[in-house]
Structure 1
Amino acid sequence: MIRQFVSMIVAVMLLAAVVPYASAQQAPDAVPDVESAVVAEQRPAIDAVKKQISNYDQQKLKADTDATLADLRLNLEGTSKKLLDIGVSFRPRITEINARLDQLGPPPPQGQPPEAQIVTDERIRLTTEKAEINAVLGETEDLLIQVNRMIDAIGEARRELFTNTLSQRVDINYSLGSEIVTAYGQELQTMNRLVSSWWRFVVTFKWQSMLAATFFAGIAALVLLIGGRRTIGHLYFRDPGIEAPSYLSRLAVAFWSTLMRSLTVIVFLATTYLFLGYFNVMRPDIASLIYMLFCVIGIVFFVHALAQAVICPGAPNWRLVRVAPRPGRILMVLITATATITGLDYIADTINQIAASALSLTVAKSLFATVLVGLLIIAMAFLKPLEDAESGATKPWPRAMRIFLFTIGLVPIIAAFFGYIGLARFVSQQIIINGAVLVTMYLGFLTARAVSDENALAGTKLGQAIQKRFGLDETTMDQLGLVASIVINVFVVILGIPVILLLWGFQWSEMSAWFLTIATGFQIGSFNISLIAIATGVLLFALFYFFTRWFQGWLDTRVMARGKLDSGVRNSIRTAVGYLGLGVAAVIGVSAAGINLSSLALVAGGLSLGIGFGMQAIVSNFVSGLILLAERPFKVGDWIETGGVGGIVKKISVRATEVETFQRQSLIIPNSSFINGSVGNWTHRNKLGRVDIAIGVSHKVDPRRVHDLLMEIARSHPLVLKNPEPFVAFSAILDSTMQFEVRVHLADLSNSGSVQNDVRFAIIDRFSEEGIEIPYPQRDVNLHLEDADSIVELLTKRVRDELAADGKKFKQ
């Protein structure tokens, strides 16, 4: 219905261009025969579409399988798209005609002077061409409606076919045993005759081709098996010497052992089938039987290998589920038997089609298979396979698991005995095959979760090999583990979901069309989303990003290093190139992803007000960072002071600057603080700087002698520059000292600490040798007392009393 509504809207939009002028025209006396070029161009395509629709209509009447109906629907959807493209192709010409008719204007009313004949003829010609295009558009619209109705009818037929298959009830008459036995004997005779005749043909004419097909298939399987063991055999080899392998190691062994064993068998079977077909060894009826036989063998072997990898009764320390060895073997046999019976049911269905078996025999075989599968599942529910971690005793399944097993075991049995054979077969088949697929997907998800754990990847043999080969640290390995976890999850979903959909009855052609639609683009509102475009955008962004990083390194080490540029200039240029490259990569990636930059501009304009009020500080710091990189008031490695804090600049980014103090504390200072406040830079243009060392001496010393000694000490230090030469200032005369200040210049101010220490030690040693005193602060205190004698008398009496008291205590 939605498709019909969209098609009608397209037709109405195209017809709307005709109506305004058609109503205003006066019917001409004679319409010239006008041939529209666009109509002549599209007419063969319209005729071809008509023929296709007629053929599809005939095919729809004969289609009796879901696969045929699905393919027919895809063809009709392609036809519908062609019709829409044909309708759209008329739009440019309609636009041209409308523009020209606007220029010509309407015909003059009665009573007005007539217009030129050439104008009248052109108006009539354009109007006639529009009418012709209008007729073709109407024809196209009718065809589009017919196609959409056929698509809806096919969808309804598929739903009805699926419903009838599951809900059709067969009257089970248990008195027809003799008839079933007779039909079974006839089927055996028919199949024996077909297989015998084919085998005689092979032995007589194609035995060499048969041997060659088997030989080449065996070679392919052996190459895969031996090559897999030599290359990745360590990934799925269970080492008996490891008593408690990690969960990730057990998962890896289970996955790779199942994959390699199953893949070897599948490659052998698939290669054999392909070579038999290539050498024309198989007849069509035998080909379908062999195809089904090979599929069943591959699926049963896969289920068996998967169960063995998960339960692992022969090596309990490598099992994924804590199942006791003896019940584990029984459980593995039951699982393999269930898969085998389900596979035999598929083979029996193929034989029914080849031998045209009787309905009673078909029902009997399906009834037997579904009941047996249900009984095997119920037998699994009665098992006590789980092993207690402490005591080692066996215990039954959890209650929810037992109820689930009993339910899925009873459903096909009950459905079969009530005559719903189709439903019983569908349920039993889906239990086995979907169960195997879901268990495999679950193992994949568990593997992804285990890989993402901390230090998990580094603990595996593959992770250790990668770490040793590329010299990666633990943090990088953990990040690789997270990336590997995401890749595994995506891989499991991409492979698992299509397989489940195929098992549920969807056709591969349908899923291919869905994937193509999702990949190439689908519409959500006014936005067109394309996974291919998004992936292309991400890939281009990554490529330009890594190219920018490479170009930064090349520019820094190969160009700027040879130009003898200082580290600050190099860092500024490197940072600017990095941000420029990141911006270009983002623009290219967004454009390649199909995102309209004008829409982003509108969004940015709408957010500008909120950014202006809510992100003032961030924007201010960002702009300040750009100013710092451009003006370069300081650079990396400079010694700066701001806001009472001093240290060495370690990093300048667009938002903040990292400064490391001399106590090794990292300070992250917003860039706006440097722009709005004052900044002192000791090494702005060079590292030349002056160091002041204060010293005080006694008033008893000759100050000129002190001055000469300090000059001698300053000049003798090897790091003190001769030009400007050292200077000693007699800076102050204080209460207890005469203050001097030694001022020396250094080529590298970062050596100021060691130079000050050396000069101070030299001053102490030289002053000690010369007998020059470095005084400490002192003060004379004079007490003025008016009654000193009375105070002395009181103190003397108090001392005598205390002495007398101490004497009495001593005698006692």
Structure 2
Amino acid sequence: MRAQFLSSRFRSRLALAAFLLVAWAVPALGQGTESLLDSQRRQIANVERMVDTLDKQVDDQSTDDAKLVEVRVELERLARAIFDASLAFRPRLSEINTRLEQLGAARGEGEPAEPDEVSRERTRLLDEKASFNVLIGEAERLSVRISGVIDEIAQLRRDLFTRTLSRRYDISAALNTNVAGEFAAEMTRIYRVVSSWVSFTVQYRLKPLLLATFLALVAALCLLVGGRRLFGDFMKPDPTQEAPTYLGRLSVALFSTLIPSASFAMLLASAYYFLDYFRLLRTDIAPLLFALFSVVVLVFFVYRLAYSILAPRMANWRLLPVHSQAARRLVALAGLTAALTGFDYFMNSVYELFGSPLSLTVATSLLGTMGVGLLILLIGNVKPFSDEEGQAKPWPTKFRYLLFAIGFAIIVSAILGYIGFARFLSQQVVVTGAILATMYIGVLTAGAVASEGAFAKSWLARRLERYSPFDETTLDQLGLVTGMVINVMVVLIGLPLILLQWGFRWADLTAWGYRIAGQIQIGSLSFSIIGILTGILVFVLGYFFTRWFQAWLDGSVMSRSRMDSGVRNSIRTGVGYVGLVIAALIGVSAAGINLSNLALVAGALSLGIGFGLQNIVSNFVSGLILLAERPFKAGDWIVAGGVSGTVRKISVRATEIETFQRQTVILPNSELINAAVGNWTHKNKLGRMELPVGVAYGSDVRRVHQILMEIATGHPLVLKNPEPFVLFAGFGESSLDFEIRVYLSDILTQLSVQNDIRFAIVDAFAAEGIEIPFPQRDLHVRTVVNQPVQVPQEATSSESEAADDPAAATKRRRRRKLDPE
């Protein structure tokens, strides 16, 4: 390959020598012009073939920087030779043009005919001029092509410089005296280009320029004003608040960084867009403005982020517990680091645009990376914290050593010639570090929002409560959802930005996205991530629509009718389950899952139902039966086994019953279907109440009956039809038993009615002198005469003494226990 390349170089130099010799001899030749033109055409064709060979070598050697340098040198020589050759044709063209002017224009109709020699001379000169113009055009086309290949090589070399981090470069060429002159020349060139564009635009395109500026300002102000209206509470810390919450500090740091940075970026992006839309950007100005705007946005974002986190003027709003002097110093160092990194990037873009020598890129990157490394060392040397005695305290040991390691790595890599690695590392420290810091603040904000009770105290919760009242549980769940959304947004925005900084392209990310969104085949079942997410979104929308329809149906339609509350609850519950089933089916269909492919899953589910899920299915079916037949409804008073209470909710698996002791009992639906259930309020709330009463033996039972009837009929809640009834129930052990039986329109009021009747009975019996007995028994002792019982004399005397004087007998017994002798 090397020999072939040298031979091609030798041939190219011979062809160039011949080409230049012919071009130099053209003006001196008066005869044989056609042969010279043919020779020039052949030589240009040979040069074009050489360019084709070099272009192919560029493709073959695109990963070899040294070979690319050699190819670029040959192409630059060819470009200079063709340029010199095109200049060599100009004297002859000038002579031809002068001779044509002397001959004048051809005679027209009606004018005297000119000599034939003049006509032939004019025709020959015109043909020769046309041939020269064709050759010059071919030379210019070839020169443009060579320039394009040279630019392609420069781009390849810069890409290799960026990507090949472990490659070592000779920095001695970047430190010589010529670099300063080349840098000054490039700055002069930039100044001329920019000044000429500005002067031309202001002088000839002032109105479009002002209109583009105005539209850019409007776009930025719209974003800024909208952000302040939505997040105005967190755009600026409140100086009057002495002890802000952790969530408040995080929110202020996040939004006071994102909203101003987004507004400033919108201003510059809109300005660039409108300038391009009104065709105010030239091809040599557009890349410069784009690079400049990118650098300015980066520096502003980093400075704003550092200022928001450290808050040098408000110690109570800082996220890090550093003292004020260290906070100001850290903000300044962070801004300088970002500015130096941005300058390196901008100058590299300038060098790429103008095709500057590689030595300039190496020199600028060398100085820039070393400056960044020194700034990182200064950041690590800061003592931001204070101990208990008020003395300055450095960073934690691991973090300080990490900063020192990064700073020394950048400086040493640059000095040893590993410019690519040093530049990459310095850029990642600034750009990727800023992105990671913002992502970390977002993650902390999500965690703080999702913590228990935090969302209820936020501004968003206060605004939501203006439109609809939310209980504490709902607000807590909204906080969890908000935290999850923030985390997802942090990952979806931050991760692609980091990958782009690490050398990936948008095409790579797009390809990954399409690959993830593509079909995933598992056996005969195929699905996609995007399809599943779409199905979940459709199901969530269907769920909320079902809940809204339930509320509308219950609150706007059924509430206007005289429908029973239990029926309304059953219809509402049934509509909810139907809506969820429909939403699930639509969601599965939107996910692209063919239900016919779920036969295996359905078979496994049926097998599971046959073994372990039969109770669940039984309760589910029982719940559907309860909702359809409605043996009881929400609000009914039922008695099921040992449970008595009010039905609160009927679900497909269980029924919620609240006892009169305010205990909630979850009763499976299958027990309510398979066992007897008493419902006091099934058809209506009419019910009979029994109240037993007992009087002493010897009482006037007829008077008692009369009194009880008067009390029962006199109560306002007792129905007259069916009329009350007093039953003489029987003869008890201690009393004569009566029972008052009355009907109430609302059986749930029986407790208050029982109290009233009992109070009235006590008062009436006391007035009539009727006694309400308490349980009592008569004890009869039988004595057996035929079997005399021998009692010891001592015991008998003791018993007699105890009968005469119980206190003395008790004292004697105690003395016996103390002194048994």
**In structure 1, what is the equivalent of residue 178 of structure 2?**
179
For 2:529 and 2:548, the matched residues in 1 are separated by: 28
For 1:649 and 1:553, the matched residues in 2 are separated by: 21
For 1:637 and 1:461, the matched residues in 2 are separated by: 38
Give 1:434 shift.
1.0
Give 1:245 shift.
0.9
Give 1:498 shift.
1.4
For the Cα contact (< 8 Å) 2:175–2:363, is it kept in 1?
Answer: no
Q: What one-letter code is carried by the residue in structure 2 that aligns with 1:486?
A: M
For 1:549 and 1:324, the matched residues in 2 are separated by: 53
Give 1:407 shift.
1.9
**In structure 1, what is the equivalent of residue 244 of structure 2?**
245
Q: How does 1:639-658 map to 2 (within 5 A)?
A: 639-658=637-656
**In structure 1, what is the equivalent of residue 679 of structure 2?**
681
Q: 1:486 aligns with which of 484, 490, 493?
A: 484
**In structure 2, what is the equivalent of residue 260 of structure 1?**
259
Give 1:507 shift.
1.6
For 1:540 and 1:175, the matched residues in 2 are separated by: 61
**In structure 2, what is the equivalent of residue 538 of structure 1?**
536
**In structure 1, what is the equivalent of residue 286 of structure 2?**
287
2:363 match: secondary structure: helix
For the Cα contact (< 8 Å) 1:520–1:533, is it kept in 2?
Answer: no
For the Cα contact (< 8 Å) 1:451–1:484, is it kept in 2?
Answer: yes
Question: Could you say if the C-alpha distance between residues 356 and 586 of structure 1 is closer, same or farther in structure 2, counting changes exceeding 3 Å?
Answer: closer
Q: After the TM superposition, list the runs of 4 or more consecutive aligned residues in structure 1 that deviate by more than 6 angstroms.
A: 57-60, 62-66, 157-160, 787-794, 800-808
2:742 match: secondary structure: strand
Question: Could you say if the C-alpha distance between residues 63 and 354 of structure 1 is closer, same or farther in structure 2, counting changes exceeding 3 Å?
Answer: farther
Q: 2:442 aligns with which of 441, 444, 455?
A: 444
Give 1:294 shift.
1.5
Q: Does 1:757 align with 2:755?
A: yes
Q: How does 1:396-795 map to 2 (within 5 A)?
A: 396-519=394-517, 521-523=519-521, 527-785=525-783, 786=785, 795=799
**In structure 1, what is the equivalent of residue 75 of structure 2?**
none
For the Cα contact (< 8 Å) 1:732–1:740, is it kept in 2?
Answer: yes
For 2:610 and 2:225, the matched residues in 1 are separated by: 67
For 2:381 and 2:798, the matched residues in 1 are separated by: 111
**In structure 1, what is the equivalent of residue 393 of structure 2?**
395
Give 1:401 shift.
0.9
2:297 match: secondary structure: helix
**In structure 2, what is the equivalent of residue 352 of structure 1?**
351
The one-character-per-residue Cα deviations of 1:639-667 (angstroms, maximum 9, x if unpaired) are: 22222332222222111122222222222
**In structure 1, what is the equivalent of residue 109 of structure 2?**
none
Question: Could you say if the C-alpha distance between residues 234 and 653 of structure 1 is closer, same or farther in structure 2, counting changes exceeding 3 Å?
Answer: closer
For 1:625 and 1:226, the matched residues in 2 are separated by: 54
**In structure 2, what is the equivalent of residue 339 of structure 1?**
338
For the Cα contact (< 8 Å) 2:337–2:372, is it kept in 1?
Answer: yes
2:720 match: secondary structure: coil
The one-character-per-residue Cα deviations of 1:731-785 (angstroms, maximum 9, x if unpaired) are: 2223443222222222222222222233333333333333333333443334344
2:284 match: secondary structure: helix
For 1:180 and 1:677, the matched residues in 2 are separated by: 99
Q: What one-letter code is carried by the residue in structure 2 that aligns with 1:622?
A: F
For 1:602 and 1:806, the matched residues in 2 are separated by: 90
Question: Could you say if the C-alpha distance between residues 171 and 219 of structure 1 is closer, same or farther in structure 2, counting changes exceeding 3 Å?
Answer: same
Give 1:281 shift.
3.0
For 2:268 and 2:181, the matched residues in 1 are separated by: 34
The one-character-per-residue Cα deviations of 1:114-135 (angstroms, maximum 9, x if unpaired) are: xxxxxxxxxxxxxxxxxxxxxx
For the Cα contact (< 8 Å) 1:696–1:740, is it kept in 2?
Answer: yes
Q: What one-letter code is carried by the residue in structure 1 that aligns with 2:278?
A: F
For 1:800 and 1:562, the matched residues in 2 are separated by: 86
Q: How does 1:113-152 map to 2 (within 5 A)?
A: none
The one-character-per-residue Cα deviations of 1:662-695 (angstroms, maximum 9, x if unpaired) are: 2222221112222222222222222222222222
The one-character-per-residue Cα deviations of 1:377-421 (angstroms, maximum 9, x if unpaired) are: 122112212344x44432111111122112221222222222222
Larger relative contact order, structure 1 or 2 (CA cutoff 8 Å, min sep 6): 1
Of 162-171 and 750-759, deviating more is: 162-171
Q: What one-letter code is carried by the residue in structure 1 that aligns with 2:393?
A: K
Of 220-229 and 157-166, deviating more is: 157-166
Q: Does 1:365 align with 2:369?
A: no
For the Cα contact (< 8 Å) 1:458–1:467, is it kept in 2?
Answer: no
Question: Could you say if the C-alpha distance between residues 381 and 681 of structure 1 is closer, same or farther in structure 2, counting changes exceeding 3 Å?
Answer: same
Question: Could you say if the C-alpha distance between residues 206 and 575 of structure 1 is closer, same or farther in structure 2, counting changes exceeding 3 Å?
Answer: closer
For 1:585 and 1:63, the matched residues in 2 are separated by: 59
Give 1:805 shift.
9.0
For the Cα contact (< 8 Å) 2:302–2:434, is it kept in 1?
Answer: yes
Q: What one-letter code is carried by the residue in structure 2 that aligns with 1:672?
A: S
For 2:796 and 2:191, the matched residues in 1 are separated by: 145
Root-mean-square deviation (Å): 3.4
1:743 match: secondary structure: strand
Question: Could you say if the C-alpha distance between residues 367 and 631 of structure 1 is closer, same or farther in structure 2, counting changes exceeding 3 Å?
Answer: same
Question: Could you say if the C-alpha distance between residues 427 and 677 of structure 1 is closer, same or farther in structure 2, counting changes exceeding 3 Å?
Answer: same
**In structure 2, what is the equivalent of residue 169 of structure 1?**
168
For the Cα contact (< 8 Å) 1:634–1:684, is it kept in 2?
Answer: yes
Give 1:64 shift.
6.5
For 1:564 and 1:267, the matched residues in 2 are separated by: 59
1:397 match: secondary structure: coil
For the Cα contact (< 8 Å) 2:711–2:761, is it kept in 1?
Answer: yes
Give 1:299 shift.
0.8
Question: Could you say if the C-alpha distance between residues 307 and 550 of structure 1 is closer, same or farther in structure 2, counting changes exceeding 3 Å?
Answer: closer
For 2:216 and 2:602, the matched residues in 1 are separated by: 62
Give 1:305 shift.
0.9
- Structure 1: give runs of 5+ residues left out of the alignment: 1-56, 67-156
Give 1:634 shift.
2.0
For 2:445 and 2:200, the matched residues in 1 are separated by: 50
Q: What one-letter code is carried by the residue in structure 2 that aligns with 1:327?
A: A
Q: What one-letter code is carried by the residue in structure 2 that aligns with 1:171?
A: D
Question: Could you say if the C-alpha distance between residues 536 and 361 of structure 1 is closer, same or farther in structure 2, counting changes exceeding 3 Å?
Answer: closer
Question: Could you say if the C-alpha distance between residues 775 and 758 of structure 1 is closer, same or farther in structure 2, counting changes exceeding 3 Å?
Answer: same
2:205 match: secondary structure: helix
Give 1:798 shift.
4.9
**In structure 2, what is the equivalent of residue 141 of structure 1?**
none
Q: What one-letter code is carried by the residue in structure 1 that aligns with 2:540?
A: A
Q: Does 1:796 align with 2:800?
A: yes
The one-character-per-residue Cα deviations of 1:521-547 (angstroms, maximum 9, x if unpaired) are: 455665443344233322322232233
Question: Could you say if the C-alpha distance between residues 64 and 249 of structure 1 is closer, same or farther in structure 2, counting changes exceeding 3 Å?
Answer: farther
The one-character-per-residue Cα deviations of 1:537-594 (angstroms, maximum 9, x if unpaired) are: 2232223223322333343344444442322222222222221221111111112112
For 2:619 and 2:157, the matched residues in 1 are separated by: 63
- Structure 2: give runs of 5+ residues left out of the alignment: 1-54, 65-155, 813-821
For 1:555 and 1:225, the matched residues in 2 are separated by: 42
**In structure 2, what is the equivalent of residue 101 of structure 1?**
none
Give 1:63 shift.
11
Q: What one-letter code is carried by the residue in structure 2 that aligns with 1:183?
A: E
Structure possessing the higher radius of gyration over alpha carbons = 2
**In structure 2, what is the equivalent of residue 301 of structure 1?**
300
Question: Could you say if the C-alpha distance between residues 783 and 554 of structure 1 is closer, same or farther in structure 2, counting changes exceeding 3 Å?
Answer: same
For 2:57 and 2:708, the matched residues in 1 are separated by: 113
Question: Could you say if the C-alpha distance between residues 773 and 438 of structure 1 is closer, same or farther in structure 2, counting changes exceeding 3 Å?
Answer: closer
For 1:772 and 1:231, the matched residues in 2 are separated by: 79
> How many matched pairs?
661
For the Cα contact (< 8 Å) 2:566–2:634, is it kept in 1?
Answer: yes
For 2:698 and 2:365, the matched residues in 1 are separated by: 124
For the Cα contact (< 8 Å) 1:313–1:325, is it kept in 2?
Answer: yes
